[in-house]
Protein backbone atom coordinates (compact mmCIF):
# COMPACT_ATOMS: atom_id res chain seq x y z
CA UNK A 1 0.00 0.00 0.00
CA UNK A 2 1.29 3.44 -0.95
CA UNK A 3 1.15 6.57 1.14
CA UNK A 4 -1.28 8.99 -0.48
CA UNK A 5 1.30 11.75 -0.77
CA UNK A 6 3.40 9.49 -2.97
CA UNK A 7 0.44 8.50 -5.12
CA UNK A 8 -2.09 11.22 -5.94
CA UNK A 9 -3.47 14.43 -4.52
CA UNK A 10 -6.90 13.66 -3.10
CA UNK A 11 -8.47 15.96 -0.55
CA UNK A 12 -11.17 15.45 2.03
CA UNK A 13 -13.99 16.62 -0.25
CA UNK A 14 -13.22 13.90 -2.81
CA UNK A 15 -13.04 11.29 -0.08
CA UNK A 16 -16.31 12.49 1.48
CA UNK A 17 -18.12 12.36 -1.86
CA UNK A 18 -16.70 8.95 -2.68
CA UNK A 19 -17.42 7.58 0.80
CA UNK A 20 -20.98 8.82 1.07
CA UNK A 21 -21.91 7.58 -2.40
CA UNK A 22 -20.51 4.10 -1.70
CA UNK A 23 -22.30 3.93 1.66
CA UNK A 24 -25.57 4.93 -0.02
CA UNK A 25 -25.19 2.29 -2.75
CA UNK A 26 -23.91 -0.66 -0.75
CA UNK A 27 -25.62 -0.51 2.67
CA UNK A 28 -28.58 -2.88 3.07
CA UNK A 29 -30.23 -5.13 5.65
CA UNK A 30 -27.33 -7.61 5.58
CA UNK A 31 -24.39 -5.26 5.06
CA UNK A 32 -22.73 -2.31 6.74
CA UNK A 33 -20.23 -0.10 4.91
CA UNK A 34 -16.98 1.16 6.42
CA UNK A 35 -15.08 3.93 4.67
CA UNK A 36 -11.46 4.95 5.23
CA UNK A 37 -10.84 8.60 6.04
CA UNK A 38 -7.17 8.16 5.24
CA UNK A 39 -6.84 7.05 1.62
CA UNK A 40 -5.93 3.40 1.04
CA UNK A 41 -4.30 3.18 -2.37
CA UNK A 42 -2.41 0.53 -4.31
CA UNK A 43 -0.43 0.60 -7.54
CA UNK A 44 -2.20 -1.19 -10.36
CA UNK A 45 0.84 -3.29 -11.28
CA UNK A 46 1.20 -4.53 -7.69
CA UNK A 47 -2.51 -5.10 -7.02
CA UNK A 48 -2.67 -8.27 -9.11
CA UNK A 49 -2.61 -11.59 -7.31
CA UNK A 50 -3.15 -14.20 -10.04
CA UNK A 51 -0.13 -16.17 -11.25
CA UNK A 52 3.37 -16.26 -9.74
CA UNK A 53 4.05 -13.29 -7.46
CA UNK A 54 7.18 -11.16 -7.45
CA UNK A 55 8.37 -9.52 -4.24
CA UNK A 56 6.29 -6.36 -4.69
CA UNK A 57 3.04 -8.21 -5.47
CA UNK A 58 3.66 -10.71 -2.66
CA UNK A 59 4.03 -7.80 -0.26
CA UNK A 60 0.82 -6.19 -1.52
CA UNK A 61 -1.06 -9.49 -1.15
CA UNK A 62 0.08 -9.70 2.47
CA UNK A 63 -0.98 -6.10 3.18
CA UNK A 64 -4.36 -6.55 1.51
CA UNK A 65 -4.93 -9.85 3.36
CA UNK A 66 -4.07 -8.27 6.68
CA UNK A 67 -6.26 -5.25 6.03
CA UNK A 68 -9.51 -6.93 4.92
CA UNK A 69 -9.29 -9.48 7.73
CA UNK A 70 -9.30 -6.91 10.51
CA UNK A 71 -12.51 -6.83 12.54
CA UNK A 72 -14.27 -3.80 11.00
CA UNK A 73 -15.49 -0.57 12.52
CA UNK A 74 -18.30 1.48 10.95
CA UNK A 75 -18.96 3.97 9.51
CA UNK A 76 -15.34 5.08 9.77
CA UNK A 77 -12.79 2.38 9.01
CA UNK A 78 -10.36 2.50 11.94
CA UNK A 79 -9.98 -1.05 13.28
CA UNK A 80 -6.96 -2.02 15.39
CA UNK A 81 -4.51 -4.38 13.74
CA UNK A 82 -4.41 -6.71 16.75
CA UNK A 83 -7.50 -8.86 16.06
CA UNK A 84 -8.16 -10.58 12.74
CA UNK A 85 -10.84 -12.76 11.31
CA UNK A 86 -8.49 -15.75 11.38
CA UNK A 87 -8.12 -15.29 15.15
CA UNK A 88 -11.89 -15.37 15.56
CA UNK A 89 -12.09 -18.32 13.15
CA UNK A 90 -9.62 -20.21 15.34
CA UNK A 91 -11.89 -19.68 18.36
CA UNK A 92 -14.90 -21.01 16.49
CA UNK A 93 -12.99 -24.07 15.27
CA UNK A 94 -12.16 -24.84 18.92
CA UNK A 95 -15.72 -24.30 20.16
CA UNK A 96 -17.91 -26.91 21.85
CA UNK A 97 -20.10 -28.68 19.26
CA UNK A 98 -23.50 -30.27 19.47
CA UNK A 99 -23.70 -34.01 18.85
CA UNK A 100 -24.49 -35.24 15.36
CA UNK A 101 -28.10 -36.24 14.89
CA UNK A 102 -28.41 -36.78 11.15
CA UNK A 103 -30.60 -39.64 10.03
CA UNK A 104 -29.21 -41.89 7.26
CA UNK A 105 -31.54 -40.22 4.77
CA UNK A 106 -30.44 -36.74 5.89
CA UNK A 107 -26.79 -37.83 5.70
CA UNK A 108 -27.33 -38.90 2.10
CA UNK A 109 -28.95 -35.57 1.25
CA UNK A 110 -26.19 -33.62 2.99
CA UNK A 111 -23.41 -35.55 1.24
CA UNK A 112 -25.05 -35.04 -2.17
CA UNK A 113 -25.47 -31.30 -1.66
CA UNK A 114 -21.95 -30.95 -0.28
CA UNK A 115 -20.48 -32.88 -3.21
CA UNK A 116 -22.22 -30.50 -5.60
CA UNK A 117 -20.61 -27.52 -3.87
CA UNK A 118 -17.17 -28.72 -2.77
CA UNK A 119 -14.47 -31.01 -4.13
CA UNK A 120 -11.25 -32.26 -2.50
CA UNK A 121 -8.04 -31.73 -4.50
CA UNK A 122 -5.07 -34.09 -4.83
CA UNK A 123 -3.63 -32.74 -1.58
CA UNK A 124 -6.82 -33.49 0.33
CA UNK A 125 -7.81 -29.82 0.61
CA UNK A 126 -11.52 -29.03 -0.03
CA UNK A 127 -12.42 -26.25 -2.45
CA UNK A 128 -15.40 -24.99 -4.48
CA UNK A 129 -16.60 -27.05 -7.44
CA UNK A 130 -16.84 -25.55 -10.91
CA UNK A 131 -20.58 -25.08 -10.40
CA UNK A 132 -20.01 -23.03 -7.25
CA UNK A 133 -17.27 -21.00 -8.94
CA UNK A 134 -19.58 -20.29 -11.89
CA UNK A 135 -22.30 -19.25 -9.45
CA UNK A 136 -20.04 -16.80 -7.66
CA UNK A 137 -18.75 -15.28 -10.89
CA UNK A 138 -22.27 -14.79 -12.27
CA UNK A 139 -23.51 -13.44 -8.94
CA UNK A 140 -20.69 -10.90 -8.86
CA UNK A 141 -21.58 -9.75 -12.39
CA UNK A 142 -25.22 -9.32 -11.38
CA UNK A 143 -24.27 -7.40 -8.22
CA UNK A 144 -22.18 -4.99 -10.30
CA UNK A 145 -25.05 -4.51 -12.77
CA UNK A 146 -27.52 -3.98 -9.92
CA UNK A 147 -25.20 -1.45 -8.25
CA UNK A 148 -24.78 0.41 -11.56
CA UNK A 149 -28.56 0.58 -11.97
CA UNK A 150 -29.12 2.01 -8.48
CA UNK A 151 -26.22 4.43 -8.90
CA UNK A 152 -27.83 5.89 -12.03
CA UNK A 153 -31.25 5.92 -10.43
CA UNK A 154 -30.07 7.77 -7.33
CA UNK A 155 -28.02 10.29 -9.30
CA UNK A 156 -31.06 11.17 -11.42
CA UNK A 157 -33.41 11.39 -8.43
CA UNK A 158 -31.03 13.76 -6.62
CA UNK A 159 -30.65 16.09 -9.60
CA UNK A 160 -32.77 19.23 -10.06
CA UNK A 161 -31.89 19.24 -13.78
CA UNK A 162 -34.93 18.07 -15.76
CA UNK A 163 -32.68 17.10 -18.68
CA UNK A 164 -30.73 14.74 -16.40
CA UNK A 165 -33.94 13.11 -15.16
CA UNK A 166 -35.32 12.83 -18.68
CA UNK A 167 -32.10 11.20 -19.91
CA UNK A 168 -32.36 8.66 -17.10
CA UNK A 169 -35.98 7.86 -17.89
CA UNK A 170 -35.57 7.45 -21.63
CA UNK A 171 -31.94 6.38 -22.11
CA UNK A 172 -29.98 5.17 -19.09
CA UNK A 173 -32.79 3.44 -17.16
CA UNK A 174 -33.85 1.05 -19.96
CA UNK A 175 -30.21 0.39 -20.89
CA UNK A 176 -29.06 -0.39 -17.34
CA UNK A 177 -32.21 -2.39 -16.63
CA UNK A 178 -31.49 -4.56 -19.66
CA UNK A 179 -27.87 -5.08 -18.53
CA UNK A 180 -29.14 -6.14 -15.11
CA UNK A 181 -31.75 -8.45 -16.60
CA UNK A 182 -29.11 -10.05 -18.85
CA UNK A 183 -26.84 -10.55 -15.83
CA UNK A 184 -29.68 -12.24 -13.94
CA UNK A 185 -30.37 -14.55 -16.88
CA UNK A 186 -26.67 -15.48 -17.04
CA UNK A 187 -26.69 -16.12 -13.29
CA UNK A 188 -29.71 -18.39 -13.61
CA UNK A 189 -28.26 -20.38 -16.53
CA UNK A 190 -24.47 -20.40 -16.72
CA UNK A 191 -24.30 -19.60 -12.99
CA UNK A 192 -26.56 -22.53 -11.95
CA UNK A 193 -28.39 -20.17 -9.59
CA UNK A 194 -31.29 -22.37 -8.50
CA UNK A 195 -29.18 -25.56 -8.24
CA UNK A 196 -26.43 -23.96 -6.17
CA UNK A 197 -28.86 -22.15 -3.89
CA UNK A 198 -30.83 -25.35 -3.34
CA UNK A 199 -27.59 -27.11 -2.37
CA UNK A 200 -26.55 -24.25 -0.11
CA UNK A 201 -29.93 -24.27 1.57
CA UNK A 202 -29.75 -28.05 2.03
CA UNK A 203 -26.30 -27.95 3.61
CA UNK A 204 -27.27 -25.00 5.79
CA UNK A 205 -30.41 -26.68 7.12
CA UNK A 206 -28.64 -29.97 7.82
CA UNK A 207 -25.34 -28.54 9.04
CA UNK A 208 -26.60 -28.04 12.59
CA UNK A 209 -27.27 -31.78 12.78
CA UNK A 210 -23.73 -32.66 11.65
CA UNK A 211 -21.42 -29.97 13.07
CA UNK A 212 -18.44 -32.31 13.45
CA UNK A 213 -18.41 -32.97 9.68
CA UNK A 214 -18.59 -29.26 8.87
CA UNK A 215 -15.90 -28.36 11.37
CA UNK A 216 -13.63 -31.15 10.06
CA UNK A 217 -13.90 -29.87 6.49
CA UNK A 218 -12.93 -26.38 7.65
CA UNK A 219 -10.03 -27.64 9.77
CA UNK A 220 -8.78 -29.69 6.82
CA UNK A 221 -8.83 -26.58 4.66
CA UNK A 222 -7.02 -24.27 7.09
CA UNK A 223 -6.58 -24.38 10.83
CA UNK A 224 -5.43 -21.02 12.24
CA UNK A 225 -4.61 -22.75 15.53
CA UNK A 226 -1.62 -24.33 13.74
CA UNK A 227 1.01 -21.63 13.06
CA UNK A 228 2.63 -23.49 10.17
CA UNK A 229 -0.51 -23.04 8.06
CA UNK A 230 0.00 -19.29 7.64
CA UNK A 231 1.94 -17.65 4.82
CA UNK A 232 4.80 -15.24 5.50
CA UNK A 233 5.30 -12.03 3.53
CA UNK A 234 8.72 -10.75 2.39
CA UNK A 235 8.64 -8.30 5.29
CA UNK A 236 7.83 -11.03 7.82
CA UNK A 237 4.06 -10.43 8.13
CA UNK A 238 2.16 -13.65 8.88
CA UNK A 239 -1.15 -13.85 7.06
CA UNK A 240 -3.76 -16.10 5.48
CA UNK A 241 -3.86 -15.27 1.73
CA UNK A 242 -6.99 -13.38 0.78
CA UNK A 243 -7.87 -12.33 -2.76
CA UNK A 244 -10.50 -10.41 -4.69
CA UNK A 245 -12.84 -11.71 -7.37
CA UNK A 246 -13.01 -11.46 -10.29
CA UNK A 247 -9.24 -11.67 -10.45
CA UNK A 248 -9.22 -9.73 -13.74
CA UNK A 249 -11.27 -6.82 -12.38
CA UNK A 250 -8.53 -4.30 -13.18
CA UNK A 251 -8.58 -5.14 -16.88
CA UNK A 252 -12.28 -4.73 -17.72
CA UNK A 253 -14.24 -1.46 -18.17
CA UNK A 254 -15.36 0.12 -14.89
CA UNK A 255 -18.51 2.14 -14.30
CA UNK A 256 -18.08 5.92 -14.41
CA UNK A 257 -19.89 8.19 -11.95
CA UNK A 258 -20.23 11.97 -12.05
CA UNK A 259 -21.52 13.65 -8.89
CA UNK A 260 -22.54 17.28 -9.32
CA UNK A 261 -22.15 19.82 -6.54
CA UNK A 262 -25.86 19.54 -5.79
CA UNK A 263 -25.56 15.77 -5.36
CA UNK A 264 -22.39 16.10 -3.25
CA UNK A 265 -24.13 18.53 -0.91
CA UNK A 266 -27.11 16.20 -0.59
CA UNK A 267 -24.84 13.24 0.14
CA UNK A 268 -22.94 15.21 2.77
CA UNK A 269 -26.22 16.05 4.52
CA UNK A 270 -27.05 12.33 4.69
CA UNK A 271 -23.62 11.23 5.92
CA UNK A 272 -23.11 10.16 9.56
CA UNK A 273 -21.77 13.10 11.62
CA UNK A 274 -18.62 11.21 12.62
CA UNK A 275 -17.78 10.59 8.96
CA UNK A 276 -18.39 14.20 7.94
CA UNK A 277 -16.33 15.45 10.88
CA UNK A 278 -13.45 13.14 10.00
CA UNK A 279 -13.43 14.43 6.41
CA UNK A 280 -13.37 18.16 6.97
CA UNK A 281 -16.97 18.93 7.92
CA UNK A 282 -18.55 19.29 4.48
CA UNK A 283 -18.12 20.07 0.81
CA UNK A 284 -15.56 22.74 -0.06
CA UNK A 285 -17.41 25.79 -1.50
CA UNK A 286 -15.23 25.79 -4.63
CA UNK A 287 -16.00 22.17 -5.56
CA UNK A 288 -18.29 21.76 -8.57
CA UNK A 289 -18.22 18.00 -9.24
CA UNK A 290 -16.50 14.70 -8.53
CA UNK A 291 -16.12 11.95 -11.11
CA UNK A 292 -14.63 8.50 -10.61
CA UNK A 293 -14.60 4.95 -11.95
CA UNK A 294 -15.66 2.20 -9.58
CA UNK A 295 -15.95 -1.56 -9.35
CA UNK A 296 -17.22 -3.76 -6.51
CA UNK A 297 -15.25 -6.98 -6.01
CA UNK A 298 -15.78 -9.91 -3.67
CA UNK A 299 -13.26 -10.80 -0.98
CA UNK A 300 -12.18 -14.43 -1.42
CA UNK A 301 -10.82 -16.46 1.50
CA UNK A 302 -9.95 -19.98 0.31
CA UNK A 303 -9.19 -20.82 3.94
CA UNK A 304 -12.69 -19.83 5.18
CA UNK A 305 -15.32 -20.84 2.67
CA UNK A 306 -18.10 -19.98 3.30
CA UNK A 307 -17.79 -17.96 6.53
CA UNK A 308 -21.49 -18.01 7.38
CA UNK A 309 -21.51 -21.81 7.44
CA UNK A 310 -19.73 -21.51 10.78
CA UNK A 311 -20.73 -18.08 12.10
CA UNK A 312 -24.40 -18.64 11.28
CA UNK A 313 -24.55 -22.16 12.69
CA UNK A 314 -26.42 -22.78 15.95
CA UNK A 315 -24.52 -26.00 16.67
CA UNK A 316 -21.60 -24.50 18.61
CA UNK A 317 -20.95 -22.49 21.74
CA UNK A 318 -18.03 -20.83 23.45
CA UNK A 319 -16.85 -21.57 26.95
CA UNK A 320 -18.73 -19.97 29.83
CA UNK A 321 -17.72 -16.37 30.43
CA UNK A 322 -16.29 -15.79 26.94
CA UNK A 323 -17.82 -12.69 25.32
CA UNK A 324 -19.96 -13.36 22.23
CA UNK A 325 -18.86 -12.42 18.75
CA UNK A 326 -22.11 -10.60 17.93
CA UNK A 327 -25.35 -9.79 19.70
CA UNK A 328 -27.21 -9.73 16.37
CA UNK A 329 -28.51 -6.22 17.06
CA UNK A 330 -29.02 -3.27 14.72
CA UNK A 331 -26.23 -2.41 14.42
CA UNK A 332 -24.67 -5.60 15.79
CA UNK A 333 -22.16 -5.28 18.63
CA UNK A 334 -19.57 -7.63 20.03
CA UNK A 335 -16.01 -8.76 19.51
CA UNK A 336 -16.63 -9.52 15.83
CA UNK A 337 -20.06 -8.19 14.75
CA UNK A 338 -19.18 -8.19 11.03
CA UNK A 339 -16.47 -9.11 8.55
CA UNK A 340 -15.39 -7.69 5.18
CA UNK A 341 -17.27 -9.49 2.41
CA UNK A 342 -16.51 -7.21 -0.56
CA UNK A 343 -14.60 -4.07 -1.44
CA UNK A 344 -15.50 -1.06 -3.58
CA UNK A 345 -12.51 -0.05 -5.69
CA UNK A 346 -12.16 3.37 -7.33
CA UNK A 347 -9.73 4.97 -9.76
CA UNK A 348 -9.38 8.01 -12.05
CA UNK A 349 -10.83 10.43 -9.50
CA UNK A 350 -11.42 13.87 -11.02
CA UNK A 351 -12.35 16.67 -8.63
CA UNK A 352 -13.45 19.85 -10.44
CA UNK A 353 -13.19 23.20 -8.69
CA UNK A 354 -14.35 26.66 -9.68
CA UNK A 355 -11.38 28.83 -8.78
CA UNK A 356 -10.52 32.47 -9.21
CA UNK A 357 -7.27 34.36 -9.03
CA UNK A 358 -7.77 36.93 -6.30
CA UNK A 359 -5.73 39.00 -3.92
CA UNK A 360 -6.41 41.63 -1.26
CA UNK A 361 -6.12 45.03 -2.93
CA UNK A 362 -6.70 47.01 0.24
CA UNK A 363 -8.26 46.90 3.69
CA UNK A 364 -8.68 49.01 6.76
CA UNK A 365 -10.82 50.54 9.50
CA UNK A 366 -12.18 53.91 8.49
CA UNK A 367 -14.33 56.66 10.01
CA UNK A 368 -16.44 57.54 6.98
CA UNK A 369 -17.55 61.16 7.34
CA UNK A 370 -21.10 62.18 6.51
CA UNK A 371 -21.48 63.71 3.03
CA UNK A 372 -18.03 62.34 2.02
CA UNK A 373 -17.19 59.81 -0.67
CA UNK A 374 -15.03 56.73 -0.31
CA UNK A 375 -13.07 54.75 -2.88
CA UNK A 376 -12.54 51.08 -1.97
CA UNK A 377 -9.88 50.64 -4.67
CA UNK A 378 -7.59 53.31 -3.19
CA UNK A 379 -8.91 53.86 0.36
CA UNK A 380 -9.29 57.58 -0.44
CA UNK A 381 -12.00 59.73 1.22
CA UNK A 382 -13.56 62.86 -0.17
CA UNK A 383 -12.59 62.38 -3.82
CA UNK A 384 -14.48 63.10 -7.00
CA UNK A 385 -17.87 61.40 -6.96
CA UNK A 386 -17.39 60.08 -10.48
CA UNK A 387 -14.29 58.11 -9.52
CA UNK A 388 -15.29 57.20 -5.95
CA UNK A 389 -17.34 54.10 -5.15
CA UNK A 390 -19.84 55.27 -2.51
CA UNK A 391 -21.17 58.52 -1.11
CA UNK A 392 -22.20 58.51 2.56
CA UNK A 393 -24.96 61.04 2.17
CA UNK A 394 -26.01 62.39 5.56
CA UNK A 395 -28.70 64.91 4.66
CA UNK A 396 -30.46 65.37 8.02
CA UNK A 397 -30.72 63.54 11.31
CA UNK A 398 -33.63 61.60 9.85
CA UNK A 399 -32.43 61.21 6.29
CA UNK A 400 -29.21 59.39 5.37
CA UNK A 401 -28.16 56.81 2.80
CA UNK A 402 -25.19 54.96 1.32
CA UNK A 403 -25.23 55.78 -2.39
CA UNK A 404 -23.24 53.97 -5.08
CA UNK A 405 -21.49 56.56 -7.19
CA UNK A 406 -19.59 56.65 -10.44
CA UNK A 407 -19.33 53.21 -12.06
CA UNK A 408 -19.73 51.31 -8.78
CA UNK A 409 -22.77 49.32 -7.62
CA UNK A 410 -23.84 48.02 -4.23
CA UNK A 411 -25.84 45.36 -2.40
CA UNK A 412 -26.86 45.15 1.25
CA UNK A 413 -26.32 41.73 2.90
CA UNK A 414 -27.78 42.38 6.33
CA UNK A 415 -26.26 41.46 9.66
CA UNK A 416 -24.00 38.46 9.04
CA UNK A 417 -20.49 37.07 9.59
CA UNK A 418 -18.08 39.46 7.90
CA UNK A 419 -14.90 37.38 8.10
CA UNK A 420 -16.33 34.26 6.42
CA UNK A 421 -17.37 36.09 3.22
CA UNK A 422 -15.16 34.96 0.34
CA UNK A 423 -14.36 36.77 -2.87
CA UNK A 424 -16.23 34.09 -4.85
CA UNK A 425 -19.33 34.77 -2.78
CA UNK A 426 -18.92 38.52 -3.33
CA UNK A 427 -18.66 37.98 -7.08
CA UNK A 428 -21.87 35.92 -7.12
CA UNK A 429 -24.11 38.61 -5.59
CA UNK A 430 -26.41 40.79 -7.71
CA UNK A 431 -25.42 44.45 -7.45
CA UNK A 432 -27.43 47.57 -8.26
CA UNK A 433 -27.57 51.35 -8.04
CA UNK A 434 -30.20 51.57 -5.30
CA UNK A 435 -29.00 53.39 -2.18
CA UNK A 436 -28.97 51.67 1.23
CA UNK A 437 -31.09 53.71 3.70
CA UNK A 438 -29.52 54.81 6.97
CA UNK A 439 -32.38 56.50 8.79
CA UNK A 440 -32.63 56.37 12.61
CA UNK A 441 -35.85 54.34 12.48
CA UNK A 442 -36.97 50.85 11.47
CA UNK A 443 -36.04 51.49 7.83
CA UNK A 444 -32.34 51.77 8.71
CA UNK A 445 -30.31 49.00 7.05
CA UNK A 446 -26.91 50.31 8.15
CA UNK A 447 -27.20 49.20 11.76
CA UNK A 448 -24.20 48.03 13.77
CA UNK A 449 -23.09 44.65 12.40
CA UNK A 450 -24.64 45.20 8.97
CA UNK A 451 -22.56 44.06 6.00
CA UNK A 452 -22.77 45.39 2.46
CA UNK A 453 -20.75 44.66 -0.66
CA UNK A 454 -19.49 46.94 -3.41
CA UNK A 455 -18.60 46.19 -7.01
CA UNK A 456 -16.01 48.92 -7.38
CA UNK A 457 -15.34 51.33 -10.22
CA UNK A 458 -12.14 49.44 -11.07
CA UNK A 459 -13.83 46.03 -11.31
CA UNK A 460 -12.89 44.79 -7.85
CA UNK A 461 -15.15 43.56 -5.03
CA UNK A 462 -15.25 44.93 -1.49
CA UNK A 463 -16.99 43.71 1.64
CA UNK A 464 -17.85 46.33 4.26
CA UNK A 465 -18.85 45.92 7.91
CA UNK A 466 -20.71 48.70 9.74
CA UNK A 467 -18.88 48.75 13.06
CA UNK A 468 -20.70 51.82 14.45
CA UNK A 469 -23.53 53.67 12.76
CA UNK A 470 -23.48 57.47 12.82
CA UNK A 471 -22.53 60.66 11.02
CA UNK A 472 -18.89 59.62 11.20
CA UNK A 473 -19.67 55.97 10.53
CA UNK A 474 -17.01 53.45 11.52
CA UNK A 475 -16.52 50.78 8.86
CA UNK A 476 -14.17 47.85 8.36
CA UNK A 477 -13.50 46.89 4.74
CA UNK A 478 -11.53 44.52 2.55
CA UNK A 479 -11.20 44.93 -1.22
CA UNK A 480 -10.23 42.02 -3.48
CA UNK A 481 -8.85 41.97 -6.99
CA UNK A 482 -10.80 39.28 -8.84
CA UNK A 483 -10.75 37.58 -12.21
CA UNK A 484 -13.42 35.45 -13.89
CA UNK A 485 -13.61 31.91 -12.50
CA UNK A 486 -12.02 28.97 -14.27
CA UNK A 487 -12.24 25.23 -13.80
CA UNK A 488 -9.37 23.41 -12.18
CA UNK A 489 -9.12 19.61 -12.14
CA UNK A 490 -7.39 17.45 -9.56
CA UNK A 491 -6.96 14.03 -11.16
CA UNK A 492 -5.45 10.96 -9.55
CA UNK A 493 -2.73 8.97 -11.24
CA UNK A 494 -3.80 6.37 -13.82
CA UNK A 495 -2.04 3.60 -11.87
CA UNK A 496 -3.69 4.31 -8.52
CA UNK A 497 -6.42 1.96 -7.25
CA UNK A 498 -8.26 3.14 -4.13
CA UNK A 499 -10.10 1.05 -1.56
CA UNK A 500 -13.08 3.38 -1.44
CA UNK A 501 -15.26 1.33 0.90
CA UNK A 502 -15.32 -2.01 2.68
CA UNK A 503 -18.65 -3.79 2.57
CA UNK A 504 -19.13 -5.80 5.77
CA UNK A 505 -21.48 -8.72 6.31
CA UNK A 506 -23.44 -8.42 9.56
CA UNK A 507 -23.26 -11.43 11.83
CA UNK A 508 -26.44 -12.71 13.45
CA UNK A 509 -26.35 -13.50 17.15
CA UNK A 510 -23.20 -15.57 17.37
CA UNK A 511 -22.90 -17.97 19.03
CA UNK A 512 -26.58 -18.78 19.33
CA UNK A 513 -26.68 -22.43 20.48
CA UNK A 514 -29.93 -24.23 19.69
CA UNK A 515 -31.35 -25.69 22.94
CA UNK A 516 -33.14 -28.41 20.96
CA UNK A 517 -29.82 -29.95 19.90
CA UNK A 518 -28.02 -32.56 21.98
CA UNK A 519 -24.96 -31.15 23.76
Angle, helix 104-117 to helix 193-207, in steps of 10 degrees: 140
pLDDT of residue 1: 55
pLDDT of residue 491: 92
- Output phi, psi for 185, to 5 deg: -65, -40
Cβ neighbours for 389, distance < 8 A, ≥ 6 positions apart:
373, 374, 375, 376, 377, 404, 405, 406, 408, 454, 456, 457, 462
pLDDT of residue 2: 44
Whether the CB-CB separation of 18 and 492 falls below 8 Å is answered with no
pLDDT of residue 230: 95
Q: Which strands make up the sheet holding 358-368, listed edge to edge? A: 358-368, 473-482, 461-468, 450-455, 409-415
Alpha-carbon span 38 to 26, nearest angstrom:
20
Percentage of the chain modeled with pLDDT above 70: 98
pLDDT of residue 6: 38
Consecutive sets of 10 residues in the chain, 519 residues long: mean pLDDT of each?
A: 46 85 93 92 96 94 97 94 94 94 91 92 83 94 94 90 93 97 97 96 86 89 89 92 95 94 89 87 85 96 91 92 94 96 96 87 95 94 85 83 93 95 91 92 91 96 96 96 87 94 96 92
pLDDT of residue 384: 77
What DSSP state is assigned to residue 124? Answer: S
496 to 10, 44, 190, 228, 348: CA distances (angstroms):
11, 6, 33, 34, 8
pLDDT of residue 7: 41
C-alpha torsion sign, points 106, 118, 196, 112: negative
pLDDT of residue 399: 83
Amino acid sequence: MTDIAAASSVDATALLGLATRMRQLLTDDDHLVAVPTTPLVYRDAEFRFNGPLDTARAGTLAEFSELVNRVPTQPVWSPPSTLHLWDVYGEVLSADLAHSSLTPEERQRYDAASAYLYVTDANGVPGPTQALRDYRTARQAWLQADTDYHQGEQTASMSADLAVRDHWTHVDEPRLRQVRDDAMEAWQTAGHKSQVEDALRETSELASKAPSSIWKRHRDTFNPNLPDQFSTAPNGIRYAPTYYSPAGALDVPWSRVVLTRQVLLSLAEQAPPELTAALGGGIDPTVQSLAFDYRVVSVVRPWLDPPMELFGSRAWKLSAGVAPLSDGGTPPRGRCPSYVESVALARNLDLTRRVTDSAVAGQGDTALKGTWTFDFDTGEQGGDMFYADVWWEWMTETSAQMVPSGRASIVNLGVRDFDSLTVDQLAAFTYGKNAIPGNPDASNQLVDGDVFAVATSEGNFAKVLVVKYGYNMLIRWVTYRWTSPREEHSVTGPDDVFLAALVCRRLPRSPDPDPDLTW
